[in-house]
Chains A and B, each alone.
Chain A
Amino acid sequence: MIKPLSMLKTGERGKIVRIEGGMMVIKRLTDLGFVPEQEVEVIRSAPRGPVAIKIKGAVYALGRGIADKIYVEEVHE
């Protein structure tokens, strides 16, 4: 099921499908490795506020509004 990254809970994983939003944001995210097919792991997520995402070994804080626009397919082990 495809859903925004912000919907994943702490510890869950997903595979990036697409990113919406302005070119600035998309470019900054892709430069950090948020590219289609890439797997991400949610390190910390709360009902509100930013999320911490692990990708390619690095952790990034993403504002909720940004995480809403990154669509992922949930990965189950």
Chain B
Amino acid sequence: MGFDLLKERRAQVVRNNRSGVVSLDCNKVSAAGSVSQRACTFCGSRVVLYPIADALHLVHGPVGCAAYTWDIRGALSSGPELHRISCSTDMREREVVFGGEQRLEASLRRLIAQHAPRAAFVYGTCIVGVIGDDVPAVCKRVETDVGIPVIPVLAEGFRGTKRDGYNAACGALLRLIGTGDATAVKPQSINLLGDFNVAGESWIIRKYFEEMGVEVVSVLTGDGRVDEIRRAHGARLNIVQCAGSMTPLAKAMQERYGIPFIRVSFFGIEDTADALYRTAERMDSPDVMGRARALVSREITRVLPELRACKDALAGKRAGLYVGGAFKAFSLVRALRQLGVSVVLAGTQTGSQEEYQELQAVCDEHTVIVDDTNPLELAAFLVEQDVDIFIGGVKERPIAYKLGIGFCDHNHERKIALAGFEGALAFAREVRVTATSPIWNLMPRRTRGAGTAMGDTR
């Protein structure tokens, strides 16, 4: 490595070695001064609930926290778009000194009257946790008056990690679940947990289940609607995609409503087929299974020829990936392997001990595995591992591009749906486009030592 790994972070980086699985020192607060790629606890709660499109999302705090989360996810809605506006109580010095409850209440009442949401979520930011506003009391008061659920989500930025924010969001969802009438729900039914309808991905998945004759009671939270969430307790099975954020909710629903859950992924054709088959198995219906088989067979036949062409074009390429949760990482390793691309660098922001063990198991020998990494580590490993394609989010993109390395956005700002069979094809095209672009041949990383006069970047 061309830099010194921080002492504090040494146990958060491992090199995969078939002779044994190493335990990572993960799931802890970021090292001060490390320049973590993670956001905060508030962010965890905000991103999970964000796609609920007919709810009001009010950030209680100074304006920045709301400004930075305005229209931040590409989570699409088929109807209302309340989630795409940014509402803040915009606390000023006066509120910091005298308390912000009055301003919160006035904001809630005005915005609810103006937008007629089906529920309201109030997110507490750091300051609110410090000055001690009684947010639950304000919410309760407004809820009683206006007759919609007004739910406090108290995951102040300093309260822990992003994962703690996910837990707070799951707690907020549990306040809604079970409050609607679920008597009309079909016996063959599911909730899809942990899909956020980025670029319309929930719609792709929903379409598959409709074809299989399985009712999707609710998607948590992609293209989310409050009334659907309220009847989610009527589903037969929960299928959990973003397990990092939604496992607490799945466990709570199992406990409270007896709904079992399975972990699935719709990234890559193998994982998608597996998710559909495993869901069908749990429906106890030969008809559902028959339709699942037909669907998978038809879709694979449709996408395989072009996937093969992409594989030929990508032979021998090396990938790095850094994503939020570990389950996406597992899927991406498999999906890339199917494209003939080996993953030589893999990391997550929020992986747990068990998840990193699984990640080591699915990755090849010598893959570098990082937890809660930072730009300097990423830059060093991208070069050291000779990565051709980096898969990550907006904050990782300039690191790859600055070094003349291809990049594929798999985070929540992506505009291309990457889930399901058609998503697997879109992903392959994305990877192919960025890995095989002729521009890389001009970059100093490739021309260095080739004797070109302009190879010097200075």
Chains A and B bind each other: no
Chain B residues with CB under 8 Å of chain A are none
Chain A residues with CB under 8 Å of chain B are none
